[in-house]
Chains A and B, each alone.
Chain A
Amino acid sequence: MGYRIFNWGWKFPSPQQTFQAFYDGFTEGPLWGAIVASLRRLLISFAISIALGTTLGFLFARYRFLDQTFGFLVVALQTVPSIAWLPFAIIWFGLNDTAVIFITTIGATWTMSMASRTGIMNISPIHLRAARMMGAGNGFRMFYQVMVPAAFPHLMTGIRVAWAFAWRALVAGELVARGVGLGQMLQDSRDIGDTATILCIVIVIAIIGTLSDHLCFKRLEDRIMLRFGNIK
């Protein structure tokens, strides 16, 4: 058989086995449950990190002092792989959902805050002036009526990158943590040497990542770009 040129033995599953694992996983196995549990964690931490990141970015753009002190720290934190926080998370929260959500959030927040900072700083001053002149004030109304839409192209890039970062951090965290999830399933399959399921989960992760990017974010981005008039 062609796929066994290198004679991997049981260490690499055949397409047939993988397909079988897919089938079993979706019909009777824990695959659905794992996907739902993982997505739940992902969405919670994604929402937190988008809100937190946008706010942080806004503060950095608005207050020079913050930008020059904590702004640098954020750049430094961004370079730390979020899985490096897992030991802390385990000590603080234990080997549970909270720990995973924590590191996933950390993985996405910094990118998001950098993107929103750049976005808000690049808003043309003329728009801010025009808005202030027409009575948008300097507070929350200005923020959501002018700053967020004006920074949207940058924010959208940030959201897409943050999504990818969150996905990675999530799987990494789940590999270690207990409970139900795709990462845990990977780990369990390794324990019993079920390579077909491992491959099957890797494929599921890739598909969910691509689909969500393509169906949600890319569409949203394109729609908004069309409005702004910069069609790529």
Chain B
Amino acid sequence: MIDIKNVSKTYDDRNRGRYNALNQVSLHVKKGEFVSLVGPSGCGKSTLLNMIAGFEKTEEGMIEVNGEKVKGPGPDRVVVFQEHGLFPWLTVLDNVAFGLKQKGMRKKERHELALEQIKAVHLSKFAASFPHQLSGGMKQRVAIARALVMDPAILLMDEPFAALDEQTRFILQSDLEEIWGRTHKTILFITHNIREAVMLSDRVIVMSTQPGTIKKEFNVQASRPHSIGDPLIHHLERKITDELADELEKVVKGEMGDDYRIKKNHFSGPSSDSMGFGI
């Protein structure tokens, strides 16, 4: 479905000079797969997503979607942005129908299709509202509906739930899992949140920074729907956290100097040998 081969990308930055955002990244995502990318900030995961979406040019290597080279943005790969990106001057209904309008669909037809998707994300009551009247979670639901109405083969999600509060995020995660189970879209999901990645994905890809490369892959072989109580999920979450700790240290050192060190498994309370006083 998505084929990424030896993709590299360099940026000219005023402060940092030329730097490698991505270095020889190769990745294959199968049809219907839910893949998450996790990594510290600046590891190039958003850059990779933008390149798949066609917002940024590929300089080296190549990205193919369905066997075709990515040339620019298109309705077959729809992005759900972190800041929803809804048009404030359009109602929820018109926002969702915007993509269909561009396809030249008639008003009645596109409104029907849009309403169907709005219903699927449980917002029928708000079809005539404007985005500013909705909460953050609702806006993100509209963004998802707007993406799904295009019936894309691939959903690209760039930290879609990062700006939401914990409860809302939790609900949206399970909704997304449900949507994925129903539609079998190929989803590439970017997140900072390791639990979110493990909970949602079939495969979690850990990226390292400076330069951005793929460090390790984890297959999540838990049964669907994933549950927090599953020991396998817990185990994976822990393993990924450890894997990322090294990367985080690199980032922090880069920002704050060499004397900073993240202490692993260090807890400066009473030592674990002591059974406490109450016994």
**Measuring CB to CB, which residues of chain A are less than 8 angstroms from any residue of chain B?**
124, 126-127, 129-137, 141, 145-146, 149-150, 152, 224, 227-230
Contact = CB atoms under 8 A, between A and B. Distances in A.
A189 B191 CA distance: 75
Contacts of B74: 133, 135
A123 B206 CA distance: 34
Given A134-B75, A135-B74, A141-B102, A229 B87 contact: no
A147 B98 CA distance: 14
B99 A227 contact: no
B79 A229 contact: no
Given A227-B130, A229-B131, A229-B133, A133 B78 contact: yes
Interface in B60-86: 72-75, 77-79, 81, 83, 85-86
B150 A134 contact: yes
A147 to B, nearest CB: 11
Contact of B85 (A127, A135, A141, A229): A127
Contacts of B72: 132
Q: Is chain A's binding surface mostly helix, strand, loop or mixed?
A: helix
B103 A135 contact: yes
Interface in B81-98: 81, 83, 85-90, 98
Contacts of B73: 129, 132-133
Q: Which of B79, B81, B89 has the most CB of A within 10 A?
A: B89
A98 to B, nearest CB: 38
25 contacts: A129-B79, A130-B86, A130-B87, A131-B98, A132-B73, A133-B54, A133-B55, A133-B73, A133-B74, A133-B75, A133-B77, A133-B78, A134-B98, A134-B99, A134-B146, A135-B102, A136-B98, A137-B102, A141-B102, A146-B87, A149-B87, A150-B89, A224-B89, A229-B132, A230-B132
Contacts of A133: 53-55, 73-75, 77-79
Contacts of B88: 227-229
Nearest to A132: B73
Q: Is chain B's binding surface mostly helix, strand, loop or mixed?
A: loop
Contacts of A135: 74-75, 99, 102-103
A126 B85 contact: yes
Contacts of B87: 127, 130-131, 146, 149-150
A189 B88 CA distance: 52
Given A129-B85, A229-B133, 7 more contacts: A124-B85, A126-B81, A132-B73, A133-B74, A133-B75, A133-B79, A134-B99
Contacts of B85: 124, 126-127, 129-130
A152 to B, nearest CB: 7
Interface in B116-167: 130-133, 146, 150
B155 to A, nearest CB: 12
A134 B102 contact: yes
A224 B54 CA distance: 33
Contacts of B86: 130
Contacts of A146: 87
A145 B102 CA distance: 10
A229 B130 CA distance: 8
Contacts of A152: 89
A135 B103 CA distance: 7
B84 to A, nearest CB: 8
Contact of A149 (B78, B79, B89, B102): B89
A229 B99 CA distance: 23
Contacts of A137: 102
A150 B74 CA distance: 21
A146 B87 CA distance: 8
